[in-house]
C-alpha cells in the first residue's frame, strides 16, 4: 500500500490478568494474559499484511504496554525497532479504586459517584494517601521522578494534561520529520489523545470507547491537521467470556 507521508498508529494493549477479576488496574503493573499476547500478535500480523512498518514504538513504562509492543513487533518480523517508554503514557491513575472490582467500589462509594469518576472528564476518584504502599512514589519504576509529580489519583482531564507534553514535545516533532510511529498505550490515555486530536468536547469524550487490540490509524497533513482516522480490522482471535 502507499502510506500517507504523515501518519501514526495507536494501539490499546489487550487482555491483562486483572481483567479476569474485573479489577481497576491504573498504574498497578499487571501483565497480559495469553489472550492479550495473542491479540497483540494478531494485530501485528494484520499490520504487516496491510503494509505498515515502523521506525519507532512509544509506550508506557507498564509491562502490559511493553509486552504488547514486543508481541506486535515480533509478529511483524521487525523486533529490532526501538521501543521508548515514558510514564507520561501510563494509564490514568485510579487512586483508591486501584485493585478493587466494581462490586467493591459500588459498595464503598455508591454507583452514581463511582460511574462519574471512571467515565467523567473532570472529577478524579478518591486519592491514595501519601503513605499508602500503592502510591507510585514507592515503585522503583518512578525512582528518578520527583514524588510531587506523581499522581495519587487522576481525572481523565488530569491524565490528558499529563500525556499532552509527550505528544507535543516528543511525538509531534517525529511525525513532522516523517517518522512512522506506533504508540502502544492504555484506554484512558488514548481517549485523552483522541479528544485532543479530534477537538471533542468533554461531554462527547465521555461516550468514546477505545477497543483493545485494534490498531487506530491517524493521517495528518503537513501542518499536522488531522485528515482522518480509521480502525484497522483485525480477525477475532478469542472470546473474553
Catalytic residues, which ones?
Answer: 13, 91
Torsion angle of the four alpha carbons 197, 201, 204, 209, in this order, in degrees rounded to the nearest 10: 30
Q: How many CA atoms lie within 13 A of 52 on its CB side?
A: 28
User: Angle CA(228)–CA(234)–CA(238) in degrees, nearest 5?
Assistant: 145
**Cα–Cα dist 183/10, whole Å:** 5
Torsion angle of the four alpha carbons 119, 103, 61, 31, in this order, in degrees rounded to the nearest 10: -140
**Cα–Cα dist 159/185, whole Å:** 12
Task: Enumerate the H helices of the chain as residue ranges.
Answer: 34-49, 63-76, 102-109, 111-119, 156-166, 172-176, 187-198, 202-205
Adjacent-strand bridge partners of 59: 85, 184
Residue pair 137/147 in contact (Cβ under 8 Å)? The answer is yes
**Cα–Cα dist 105/111, whole Å:** 8
Amino acid at each position: 500500500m502507499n502510506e500517507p507521508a504523515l501518519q501514526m498508529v495507536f494501539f490499546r494493549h489487550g487482555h491483562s490478568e486483572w481483567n479476569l477479576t474485573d479489577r481497576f488496574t491504573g498504574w498497578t503493573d499487571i501483565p497480559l494474559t495469553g489472550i492479550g499476547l495473542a491479540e497483540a500478535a494478531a494485530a501485528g500480523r494484520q499490520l504487516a499484511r496491510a503494509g505498515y512498518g515502523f521506525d519507532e514504538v512509544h509506550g508506557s513504562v507498564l509491562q502490559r504496554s511493553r509486552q504488547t509492543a514486543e508481541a506486535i513487533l515480533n509478529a511483524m518480523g521487525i523486533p529490532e525497532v526501538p521501543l521508548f517508554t515514558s510514564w507520561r503514557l501510563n494509564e490514568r491513575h485510579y487512586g483508591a479504586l486501584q485493585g478493587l472490582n466494581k462490586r467493591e467500589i459500588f459498595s464503598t462509594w455508591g454507583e452514581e459517584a463511582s460511574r462519574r469518576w471512571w467515565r467523567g472528564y473532570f472529577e478524579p476518584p478518591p486519592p491514595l494517601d501519601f503513605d499508602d504502599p500503592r502510591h507510585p512514589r514507592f515503585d522503583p519504576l518512578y525512582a528518578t521522578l520527583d514524588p510531587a509529580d506523581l499522581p495519587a489519583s487522576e481525572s481523565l482531564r488530569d491524565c490528558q494534561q499529563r500525556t499532552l507534553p509527550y505528544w507535543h514535545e516528543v511525538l509531534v516533532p517525529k511525525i513532522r520529520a516523517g517518522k512512522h510511529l506506533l504508540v502502544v498505550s492504555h484506554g484512558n490515555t488514548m481517549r485523552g489523545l483522541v479528544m485532543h486530536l479530534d477537538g471533542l468536547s468533554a461531554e462527547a469524550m465521555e461516550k468514546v470507547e477505545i477497543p483493545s487490540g485494534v490498531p487506530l490509524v491517524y493521517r495528518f497533513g503537513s501542518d499536522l491537521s488531522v485528515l482522518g482516522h480509521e480502525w484497522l480490522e483485525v480477525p477475532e482471535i478469542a472470546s473474553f467470556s
